[in-house]
Amino acid sequence: MSEILFQPLGNPTAAGEGLSTIADIDPRLTRTHYFDGRLLTAEDLTRDQIYLDQRLRELGRVLGSGIMSGLELSFDRFTGLLTLQPGQALTPAGRVLELGSQLIVNLGDRALISQLNDGNYRRFNRALYAVVLRYADVATDIAEVFPKDLGARRGSEYALITESVQLGLVPLPIPLPQQSALQIRARLMRELLGNEQLLGLLPEDAVGLGVLAIQNDTPQWLDAELLRQPMRAEPALGDLQSDLARQYELLLADILSARRSGGLNGDFHAADYFSLLPPVGTLPKEALDPVNGRQGYFPENYKVAIAPIRQSDVALIQTESLKLPPIDLTSGEPLDLVVLVPLSNLDYGHYAAQLERNIDPLNRRLPQIDLLKLKLYPVRPVHALDTDAAAWSGIWDRLGDTPPFYLRRPTRAAETAVSGIVLALGSTVPAPAVGETGPADSGGMIQDADSQFLSRLNLTTLSGLRPPVNAEGDTALAALTAAHGGSANRVQLIAGILLRIEREYDALSWPTLLALANADQLTPFLQGLVDAAPATNTPATVVAVGTELNLDANLLNQWSSLVA
């Protein structure tokens, strides 16, 4: 008996003629038109399933993609168990993934893994793998297929399609170097941040849950924050920084745990592990010493200050700071950072009053807390107020085990000398007070060569070795210090001259040095002493060189009286 066939009547495209000129035709969004007397086939019903599926996925893509709730991933290296907690996620393809119960995968069960992958992956290659949760169709149950004619036999086909989720590994095209896990994870933070090419390797019907490292066919470590992102509809300012901040906090906790288990503390340089930092994050308490004005976490050319803050203001400040660019530790660019110490309202009110300067009506400075500057190599004095050291000691004790946090300071108009305020005609801008620095000025936080020299050799140390012997010498030393004590070059010349003049002539040494410095003749005077014969009498040499330089006649007469 021949097979019975049914041919649809009419032209299937005739009814749709002209629609292409007035509508956007999408063949995936075609649904079946039902009416009495129509013969339905499997194709007609499948068409409706595809239509509903496309409409749901279209809605899902509008909502965004990422982890909605749960789905925390953990790995036990000793047992090889990968554990995923229940939760929900939305894939970039618009599919909703829901895990209703805990999912545990034994990475050591290679027989099961090979079976699920059609006999492949009996062993894992050395690589970095993205752990993903993806959508899957599973055919279940059996249904009998009746013959289309009397001569055909009965058959069977699966009756149901069950939607499910499955855990999988996707190899990443990133080499696995011979480094510690902490250093590799820090490098991946930088490489994966906003890298659309690498993120494009993940299936569209999957979400990333973390990165797993496998070496010698054995899983080594898991970072459950890399590749993971919360639910987002559209990219917004601060999204990448927020991801970086989560990855940084997890890695910093693991670094501190590893160091303390090895007998080390938290006083280390951030560049020892990280090359990129979020604009706001916590840092080890051991890396700071506000009492002595020292920090050991950030590079030397960073301008780092510290101040207390109310605990209730922390969340708002952190959220606002996430919109700033990340901190690149490899660029060498100097940055302004502030370390904030969270305190309760009671403690803040108590200690803030001790750190607050009084109003200065002369310079129009209102009462406010002065930031305490921290340096990699502190130089005294570090506390502007007499009570700063005691106050900071109390603040540090009240902080307890709560870690302080840093934030990148944005560039503001007041710090760049740009102002939108128009001054009245005839008024003048007040000059800054002596020694006053702006908010963005380091104020000597980063010491140059001259500052380093003066911190070790200055007129105070020289006068301690060669003190004046009379009132005239004391007066000359005070005037010399006030006028020329901040010049490293002149202090060096003065030290050279004192080496050439014996201690027995100190009654005239300091007045002579003052006269030479005021006349800017220290260099030729020292050169004249060096050029003199070694056996020459010192007063005679001073008189000869001073006469050529037109030194004060009164001083020359006093030196002449000392010539033997």
| Residue spans per domain, the chain | 26-62, 66-233, 254-416, 449-560
Whole-number pLDDT of residue 297: 92
For residues 273 and 182, is the Cβ–Cβ distance under 8 A?
yes
- At 360 the pLDDT is 60
- Name, in order, each residue with C-beta under 8 angstroms of 58's C-beta and a sequence gap of 6 or more: 94
Question: Over 80: is that where the pLDDT of 439 sits?
Answer: no
Is 447's pLDDT higher than 70? no
CB 102 within 8 A of CB 86: yes
What's the pLDDT tens digit per position in 464-476?
Answer: 888 888 888 888 8
Residues 549-559 have a mean pLDDT of: 85
Which of the four pLDDT bands, split at 50, 70 and 90, describes residue 438? Answer: very low
pLDDT band at 249 (very low <50, low <70, confident <90, very high): very high
Half-sphere exposure of 133 (CA within 13 A, CB side): 34
pLDDT per residue as tens digits for the range 87-96: 999 988 888 8
Q: Which of 518, 532, 448, 529 is nearest to 490 (CA)?
A: 518
* pLDDT at residue 27 tops 70: no
pLDDT at 9: 47
Question: Which band of pLDDT confidence, cut at 50, 70 and 90, is reported for residue 195?
Answer: confident
User: Quick check: 240 and 267 in contact, CB under 8 A?
Assistant: no
Q: Which of 107-111, 207-211, 369-373, 429-433 has the highest mean pLDDT?
A: 207-211
Question: What confidence score (pLDDT) does residue 414 get?
Answer: 45
Closest CA to 468 of 494, 501, 499, 506: 506
User: What's the number of CA atoms in the CB half-sphere (13 Å) around residue 110?
Assistant: 8
